[in-house]
Each structure stands twice: as C-alpha cells, then as structure tokens.
Amino acid sequence: MFAITPNTLSTFLNSISKYILLLMILLLGFSAILIILLENDYYQGVSFKIMFIHVPAAWLSLLIFSTMGISSIIGLVFKSPTSFTISRAISPIGLIMSIIVLVTGSIWGNLTWGTYWVWDARLTSMLILSFIYLGHILLLYSFDHFQKADFAASILAIIGLVNLPIVKFSVDWWTTLHQVSTVFRVGGPSITSDYLITLLVSFFALFLLCIYWFSNIFYIIIENRKIERSKLLNQ
C-alpha cells in the first residue's frame, strides 16, 4: 500500500470503475430479486427482509473502519500519503454505512421490540462508532493543511479500533435484546442456505457500491490536492 503513489492508485481505480459499476448494478438487481422471492418470516412477516440491508451495512461499517485504522497505522509508520488518502476517502462511506445500520436497526427494532431505540450494548457501541466516524471527518476538515489533518484523524482512527471488538462481541459479552451472531460464529452459520446466499449477494452488491463510491472520492481528493499544491507554488 505504502509503495503505491496516490496518482497511480487513482488511475487504476478509474480504469476499473466502469466494470465495478456494471457488476454492482447486476448484483443489486439479483439481490433485489432474491429478497422479493424469499418467503416472509413466520414470526416477523415481511419486516425481516430489512436484514438484507441492515446486516451487510453493519459488516461494511466494521470492515471500513478496520481498513481506515490499518491505513492510518501504515500512514503514520511509513509516512505513506496513499494510506492517508485511503483513510480520508473511506471515512464518509463508513459513516453512511453506520447511519444505515442505525436507521434500519431502529425500524426493525420498532417492528420487533415495539420501540425504535433501547440502550442495548450492540446499538450503543454502533452509535459510538458513528460518532467516531463523524469525529474523524470533522478532524479532516479542521486544519488548514491536509497533512496536519491526516495526522490528527489517524490518531483518532487508531484509538477507535478499540471499539470494533466491542461492537462485534457485545451480544456475547452482555445480555442484550439484539440477537447473537448467526453467520460468523463457532460451528458455522445458523441460518438456512437461501437466507445466507441472499445475505452474501446483498453484501457483495453493497460492497461494490462502496468501492465505486470510494474510487470517485479518492479521485476528487487527488485532484483537490493538485489544486492546493498549485496554489501554494504560485504564492
């Protein structure tokens, strides 16, 4: 990662972005068909289908923050501008994913538990993750020079890694209303194959959406930095 320049990575992402977009559209369509064809749950009715947005968004919010934290560590250790730029580009995507998790979870919770919000360990730790994402973005735009902003935001991202195992294992460590893990668990997934396939297709569709979004944000950041450097040289 630290051996690749931001311009090289931006060029590569632009070269494959149209293929990512095409595959994303196909998977989103396939995912929608699978969700529609699934029979309604015996207890929850049609409302359980929120799971196929809620769960992939939750996985991605954790995956994105993990990537952001690792990129921040690499950036600080190796002084890698590419790592800092990756962290900067994926931060807003992670925030959106965490917001989707909270909104869909609240809707699903109201339909299942009869309330939009409880101070459940999983919900609370996910809310904290959203605030960390927001704090990271605010730090990125709180300094006049992007290098200072990258340094400050990277420190927060590294500290925020502590929250990830809390989000993941909160349902195992404490008694919560939120159901326990049904896919990534000892003994294998506890859901039926049709649910699992639909869930994985939905995840990869949303994952490709994030990659496509990332490639565009990364390109914009690179172009803005070129403009910033040009202005500094002309002063």
Tokens of 218: 């990364």
93-146 per-position pLDDT tens digit: 999 999 999 999 888 888 877 888 888 888 889 999 999 999 999 999 888 788
How far from the centroid of its chain's Cα atoms is residue 158's Cα?
A: 16
- CA dist 136 and 149 (Å) reads 9
Residues 6+ apart with CB under 8 A from 142: 149, 152
Average pLDDT over residues 50-69: 94
φ, ψ of residue 221 to 5 degrees: the values are -60, -45
Buried residues in 96-109 as b, exposed as e (16+ CB within 10 A):
bbbebbbebbbebb
pLDDT digits (tens, 9 = 90+) for 196-234: 899 999 999 999 999 999 999 999 999 887 777 776 666
For the entire predicted model, the pTM comes to: 0.90
